[in-house]
Amino acid sequence: MSSALPPDYDRDPGRFLANQRATARFSQVGDLHPLVADQLASLGAHSVLDLGGGSGPLARLLGDRRVWTVVADRARHVRMAPAPRVRADALALPFADGSFDAVAALWMLYHLDEPARALREAHRVLRPAGTFVACTSSRTNDPELAEVLPDWGRRTTFDAEDAVRIVGRSFHVIRVITWDQAFVTLPDRSAGALFLRGRGLSERRATRAAAELRYPMSVTKRGTLIWARRRSHPAHA
């Protein structure tokens, strides 16, 4: 049985910041935002909805590429995103039909009990033949840390194992990129603690768990990036 990951961006902002810092310091490839921004710009998108865009990393990159972007997020930290921004629920977007050339939903659909409802809203606000892009991690992401991550392997409402099928109910999937590679290297215990804090452990638990690991440590990242097009009418299966 699947369950949504609890959104903690307002309740535990330190977790979110730790994840950003760990990615910047220890990932060999960084995050997906630059790749997605480049692709959306190359596709000729003039207007993008950054759904669940948080503090706006994708919006900033798109702004650098002269692509007008609206950030929509129900968390309070959306106020840190570049304007225009709106605090809004992905299940009831305050935009007219056909408002955007593209909608991005990066690292957010697993926070929803029913991601299919958000996909239908994304479909509604897209223009004909508009682009939809989403990404998520595998339920077996970070396998080297399975013993210290309490929810490792748990099925979410939108993980890599089911994401393509879920997106395919509302959109025409045109490209799927998957990864299963040791993209992260943790050089020492302090790096391990920061990484585990970003993966949801409290600061105290992260410090204790990091002391049990051996360094340097390589961590395997598993996930998927899905590119799709708007159908004439979304499926409702």
- Give pLDDT tens digits for 138-147: 999 999 999 9
Residue 205 lies in a domain: no
Domain that holds residue 21: 13-139+155-183+220-230
pLDDT < 70: residue spans in the chain: 233-237
What integer pLDDT is reported at residue 2 of this predicted model? 86
Residue 48 lies in a domain: yes
Residue 211 lies in a domain: no
What integer pLDDT is reported at residue 237 of this predicted model? 46
What integer pLDDT is reported at residue 50 of this predicted model? 98
- Tell me the sheet residues that pair with 85: 71
Residue 1 lies in a domain: no
What integer pLDDT is reported at residue 172 of this predicted model? 97
Q: Which residues contact 208 (CB under 8 A, 6 or more apart)?
A: none
What integer pLDDT is reported at residue 235 of this predicted model? 59
What integer pLDDT is reported at residue 234 of this predicted model? 59
pTM confidence score: 0.94
Residue 190 lies in a domain: no
Q: How many domains does the chain have?
A: 1
Handedness of CA 7, 12, 13, 15 (dihedral sign): negative
Residue 5 lies in a domain: no
**What confidence tens digit (pLDDT) does each residue in 44-84 have?**
999 999 999 999 999 999 999 999 999 999 999 899 999 99
Residue 76 lies in a domain: yes
- Say whether 117 sits in a helix, a strand or coil: helix
CATH number for the domain harbouring residue 59 = 3.40.50.150
Residue 119 lies in a domain: yes
What integer pLDDT is reported at residue 232 of this predicted model? 75
